[in-house]
Structure 1
Amino acid sequence: MTETSITDLLARTHPYDALPAADRMTLAAGAETLEFADGDVIYALGAPVTALCLIVSGQVHITGADGIEVLSILGPGNSFGERGLMRDGMAPVNAVAVAPTQVIAISIEAFKAMIDAHPVAHRFFDRTRSAGAKRQDITTIAVDDLMTRTPLTCTPDAPLIEAAGKMRALGVSCIIVAEDDAVRGILTTGDITSRAVAEGLDLSTPVAQIMTPDPLTLPPSAMVADVLNAMVERAITHMPVTEAGRLVGILTQTDLTRFQATSSAALIHDIAKAPDAASIAKVTARIPELLVQLVSAQNPHQTVTRLITDIGDAATRRLLVLAEERLGPPPVPYLWLACGSQGRQEQTGVSDQDNCLILHDDATDADDAYFAALAKSVSDGLDQAGYFYCPGDMMATNLQWRQPLAIWKRYFQGWIDKPDPQAQMLASVMFDLRPIGGTTALFDGLQEQTLDTAKSNSIFVAHMVSNSLKHTVPLGLFRGFAMARAGEHKNTIDLKHNGVVPIVDLGRIYALTGALTQANTRARIVAGMAEGAVSAAGGRDLLDAYDLIADTRLEHQATQIKRGEAPDNFMPPAALSDFERSHLRDAFVVVKTMQSAAGSGRGYFS
């Protein structure tokens, strides 16, 4: 092709059409025209990528790790090679000509100069960037970034007058009571007023008799949103920060006064004071409005879903408190756990409830009447609050999911020993368990023991991998989307079951093969990369794809809410621009590549 014809082609192809004419001419002058025959391998998985290729004529198949399964079909006007160029310079897939094909090759230097100079090109080729900058507010900042790293401390046997003198000297409102860097309690000015002065205690009284023992703590990796939510739900003003059981800092309301509390914190505050399920439902009815605000502020999906899940957690805990007030104290210790999206902290604007109860092994058959009533009260309240009943009856109201700890251990052992389809389905759901309310000690060790047992059973792992590949991404022929052809959701793609769920399944497999205790999908992928359960290159690509698909899902729901519609997961691709459709297709290609790698045990899957 001549330089003029290349320039004309670039002017008709996005994103080159958005560049100044002079820059298009510069690209054309440095571009090389390459010819490939049917069957020629243009790029091989893991080989160096030497240029960005724009197809002029012919057809190119993008294939997975096995070199057989076709992930995408590219034709004239499509580009490929950018993923390698934006990453480590190595091809993450195979690109093979399946007909006589002509491409324009843009050198690495010219490609990088283009994306450095033109944001429109950078946004088009870099899926890690969104259409706008993410706003960082107080709720999304890590506790580590705001905490006081040298909190005032004293020992449990320190006299009250000594502790109060230290607090006055530094002008602080609390002192951490610690032994060997472990938090034993916290003493605040409020404690001194209400427990010491009001009761006329001697100034030599040890602080251990006045302090609040075993206060709630959070790790430095927690979000400030976690602190705010805990403060308003539990009516506390000081949060010790610990890591591996060691005191590393403190965060107080005073530290946060220059910031306005988030809407999620306000909702949780109202839930914590709600007198009944109906009042809780009035609060959770504001969740759609919160979702719109969070999405409109361009918060990433993991922040939005985490804050929304926090509200679901608070509603569950409040319903447990209300149930106990009505039924009386439980006959034995229990633990309420969430699974599904709540367990993974990934709830959106539309969620059902998936939960269960672990009872202490001292529970008797007669005790079940209490826990059956407790489960019904909480599940009915959650349904009233918009968390509809699980269609598969995976709820604590089902006796099967309301059992003593010993039974739960037998459940997991049985699913691992005999991994039939039903066992695989149940294990998939229950591997996402997360404690919500009750005696958390009942969960201690159960997850780690189950993961170790499961990881060592190669047959179970193989079945779980196979089961994880049943949810397919909505890719059709010729780079089109595979949409529903009939019914209520005709001409839409399901961004949950065919978008997010395949990635959730992969994250669960990484957690299983790496014996990782994380329940959150994004955290599982990150931990999987660190532990070698998934390769660094594959994990990075999957994170990018997950972020794009999950963000698109939330934006779709926010758009529906703003139109006055109930949010769902069924999005018509026609609602997206060509730019957005192109990147969404690329994200689905990444997911399909990772599924192929997981199924074959090669490539990106370590």
Structure 2
Amino acid sequence: MPARLPDLHRFLTSLHPYDAMTAAELDRLIDAFQLRQYGKGQHIYDLGEVQEGLYVIHQGQVEVRDENDVPLSLLGVRNSLGERGLVRDGFAVTSARAVEETTCLLLPAAAFKTLLEENEQARRFFDRSRTRAKKHDLASTKVEDLMTRAPMACAPDISIQAAAQMIRDRRISSLCVAEQDALRGIVSVRDLAGALAEALPLDTPVAQIMTPDPLTLAPSAIGSDVLHMMMEHRISHIPICEGPRLVGMVSQTDLTRFQAVSSAELVSEIAQAATAEEMAEVTARIPQLLVQLVGAGNRHEVVTRLITDVADTATRRLLALAEEKLGPPPVPYLWLACGSQGRQEQTGVSDQDNCLILHDDVTAEQMGYFADLAGFVCDGLNTCGYVYCPGDMLATNPQWCQPQRIWRDYFSRWIKTPDPEAQMLASVMFDLRPIGGSKALFDNLQEETLGRASENSIFVAHMVGNSLKHTPPLGLLRGFATIRSGEHKNTLDMKHNGVVPVVDLGRVYALQGRIEPVNTRARLKEAANTGALSPSGARDLLDAYDLIAENRLAHQARQIQRGEAPDNYMAPSELSDLERSHLRNAFVVIKSLQSALGHNFG
């Protein structure tokens, strides 16, 4: 390996699956890597080229495009690419180019193949084809993950006119006929058309035209059972029952939706949308994407990253549409996200938090352009379901749409005078991530701010104190301290008392170690490498974070399946005794590390 990268061992051990390798395995792998450097705009590989191997981005950014030249993703440091190009007989099915000066580590195809053959962790991590099959494989998906819950039903004695009105008003293609939750039959649009063709009176009971005792399946059946039953009997709707009780419905539309929804598809459609309204039709499918990804067993950081990619694409598309409407920007600018989008940790519940950094050459007369641009993009994101930040942490707020020199003054003042408001603002702004525009406006500012903040022990101590305000919901009795009153009584706030305490810890460790990534998992892993967090502490905290985050996503997926809006309030009764025990242990780990951090800083 080139001597110019002496930190390669540390770099690789901060990445999965290399972090699970033995020292001997890692040494062999390091010897196999080759250094590749690319200038801005230079192609790393083109569509249809023989794939050289696996690329790991060591520095810079790479844009990946599909066979239709539509952007699929923007990859940064620590991301891998190239394994996607091994899908079709060793030829690349995507293209990749350097967005800026970029350094990649290339693991040649032969060495990559050996790695997959010899290392189980690597094989699981890079086996994209197996992952895709799992995500979209009906044979491994339960009917309860496909069905529409609480389907529309009517009594047997209602008129066919009333049934037709129900189908029209709910925009559905069939209606279950039930008595006291027990299924009696099913009536479809085709049945109603037959009644109309035969000129039956409008007050004819629906029981007269329904299909009685229709074929049904149980929620525990698998998706391929649905498909086979539909094809064999030439039907398009199958009621789902537990005994005689109707609990759901699966239609051909449900099967089509399951097999079609993917983050890449959503990204592609948004990238081609002409209006915010068109984008909103795409982002409306994010809940179904979440259910599908969670149901397929994906890790939480994969689910949230893919969901965040959709938000990033929507933001960049709105920026492009704004420039088409307003004309080219008078000076360079950079749009940044903070909060969960900044950390690439969005779930099914996300508002928007963003800001603008402008080039210092901007004049007072030109500020109106950026106010209009911010309004266009923030309004568009709201239309897409990313609601306005309740705290007005938005680029439409003049305070957060300023030249670089003002931002530099902001950070300097917050660090020098860490009062409660400064701590809160600094916490938010340390999670900034560039989304669109001139990234150079942030690079120096981020490095400078991290350096200045980490050297100010008083500021760090205040940030530590701020990070301890959100505590895990541990109670002396019954294990958990649930919410005592109000709408969410007897539930756990899996965001503010579950995920946020770990996010806050990660931010402090990043500050101590001058760690640039803003993703929480990446911060914790890098904190172990820099010594800000012990290896054992990092492992425990990562395990605790993973358990809490995955329970949070599973809770949201269950809500979506029930037809409810997802939230962060989970009742402990949703979990088994074993799951509750594990969750409490995870909270104990977080509380212990909070206590240790607080003790170290007095």
> TM-score if structure 2 supplies the norm length?
0.62
Tell me, what secondary structure is at the counterpart of 2:443? coil
Q: CA deviation at 1:185?
A: 12
SS in 1 for 2:435: strand
The CA deviation at 1:366 is 1.1
Shift of 1:223: 4.9
Q: Which string of whole-angstrom CA distances, capped at 9 and with x for unpartnered residues, describes residues 303-325 of structure 1?
A: 10000000000000000011111
Q: CA RMSD in A?
A: 4.1
CA distance in 2, matches of 1:225, 1:284: 28
Could you report, residue by residue, the CA deviation over 1:492-524 in whole angstroms, capped at 9, with x for unpaired residues?
A: 110000100010000000000111101000110
Query: Is 1:487 aligned to residue 503 of structure 2?
Result: no
What is residue 172 of structure 1 aligned with on the other side? Answer: 49
Per the alignment, residue 392 of structure 1 pairs with 391
Give the TM-score normalised by structure 1: 0.61
* 2:226 is equivalent to residue 369 of structure 1: no
- 1:335 is paired with a residue of what secondary structure? strand
| 2-structure distance, mates of 1:478, 1:315 | 46
2:78 alignment partner in structure 1: 221
Give 1:372 shift. Answer: 0.6
Indicate yes or no: 2:342 matched with 1:343: yes
- 1:462 counterpart residue number: 461
State the shift of 1:222 in Å.
1.4
Alignment of 1:123-272 (within 5 A): 172=49, 218=75, 221-223=78-80, 237-239=94-96, 245-249=102-106, 263-272=262-271
How do 1:436-455 residues align onto structure 2 when only pairs under 5 Å count? 436-455=435-454
Q: Report the Cα distance in structure 2 between the residues aligned to 1:297 and 1:317, rounded to whole angstroms.
A: 29
* Alignment match, 2:273: 274
Aligned-partner residue type, residue 238 of structure 1: S
The residue that corresponds to 2:598 in the other structure is: 599
Judge conservation of contact 1:338–1:435 (CA < 8 Å) in 2. Answer: yes
SS in 2 for 1:443: helix
Which residue number in structure 2 is paired with residue 583 of structure 1? Answer: 582
- Offset of 1:237 from its aligned partner? 3.4
Q: In 1, distance between residues paired with 2:351 and 2:37?
A: 45
Distance 1:593 1:273 in 2: 48
Q: What is the CA-CA distance between 1:538 and the residue it aligns to?
A: 1.3
Following TM superposition, by how much is the alpha carbon of 1:154 offset from its aligned partner in structure 2, in angstroms? 12
Q: Partner letter of residue 459 of structure 1?
A: I
| Alignment match, 2:418 | 419
Residues 486, 219 of structure 1: alpha-carbon distance in 2 compared, 3 angstrom cutoff: closer
User: What code does the residue aligned with 1:471 have?
Assistant: H
Distance 1:184 1:340, change over 3 A: closer
Cα distance in 1 between the residues matched to 2:589 and 2:598: 14
* Map of 1:11 onto structure 2: none
1:320 equivalent to 2:177? Answer no
Q: Is the 8 A contact 2:60 2:100 kept in 1?
A: no
CA-CA distance at 1:340 after TM superposition: 0.3
Give yes or no for contact 1:239–1:250 (8 Å, CA) kept in 2: no
- How many Å separate the matches in 1 of 2:102 and 2:542? 30
Aligned partners of 1:386 and 1:537: how far apart in 2? 40
Conserved 8 A contact 2:37-2:103: no
Structure 1 residue 248, shift from structure 2 partner: 3.8
Q: Could you tell me which amino acid in structure 2 is paired with residue 237 of structure 1?
A: T
Alpha-carbon distance between aligned partners in 2 of 1:401 and 1:380, rounded to the nearest angstrom: 16
- Where does structure 2 lack aligned partners over 5 or more consecutive residues? 1-28, 53-57, 68-72, 86-92, 110-126, 134-259
1:240 deviates by 5.0
Task: Give the partner amino acid of 2:553.
Answer: L
1:545-576 deviation line (CA, Å, top 9, x unaligned): 10000000000000000000000000111111
Looking at structure 2, the residues matched to 597 and 567 of structure 1 have their Cα atoms a distance apart, in angstroms, of 34
**How far 1:172 moved relative to its partner?**
3.5
Code of the residue aligned with 2:96 in structure 1: it is M
CA distance in 2, matches of 1:464, 1:589: 22
Please list every run of at least 4 consecutive aligned residues from structure 1 whose deviation after the TM superposition is greater than 6 angstroms: 148-156, 181-186, 225-228, 241-244, 255-262
The aligned counterpart of 2:556 is 557
Identical aligned residues as a percent: 61
Which amino acid in the other structure matches residue 385 of structure 1? C
Q: Deviations over 1:316-351 (max 9, x none)?
A: 000001111111111111000000000000000000
Q: In 2, distance between residues paired with 1:183 and 1:593?
A: 37
The aligned residue for residue 294 of structure 1 is: 293
CA–CA distance in structure 1, aligned partners of residues 566 and 433 of structure 2: 26
Higher deviation after alignment, 494-503 or 483-492: 483-492
* Alpha-carbon separation, structure 1, partners of 2:62 and 2:385: 38
Does structure 2 conserve the Cα–Cα contact (< 8 Å) formed by 1:220 and 1:243? no
In 1, distance between residues paired with 2:489 and 2:38? 66
- In 1, the alpha carbon distance for the partners of 2:61 and 2:486 equals 60
Query: Is the 1:217–1:241 contact (alpha carbons within 8 Å) kept by the matching residues of 2?
Result: no
Give the distance between the partners of 2:483 and 2:411, measured in 1 at CA.
Answer: 36
SS at match of 1:390: coil
Q: Secondary structure at the match of 1:400?
A: helix
Q: Which residue number corresponds to residue 546 of structure 1?
A: 545
Contact 1:334 1:360 in 2 (8 A): yes
1:165-197 deviation digits (Å, cap 9, x = unpaired): xx9xxx93799xxxxx999999x9x9xxxxxxx
- Structure 1 contact 306–347 (Cα < 8 Å) conserved: yes
Q: Deviations over 1:6-48 (max 9, x none)?
A: xxxxxxxxxxxxxxxxxxxxxxxxxxxxxxxxxxxxxxxxxxx
Q: Deviations over 1:445-483 (max 9, x none)?
A: 111110110011111011000011001111111352111
Secondary structure in structure 2 of the residue aligned to 1:488: coil
Q: Following TM superposition, by how much is the alpha carbon of 1:432 offset from its aligned partner in structure 2, in angstroms?
A: 0.2
1:225/1:364 Cα in 2 relative to 1: closer, same or farther (>3 Å)? farther
Q: Classify the secondary structure of the residue corresponding to 1:324.
A: helix
Cα drift, residue 155 of structure 1: 12
Shift of 1:409: 0.3
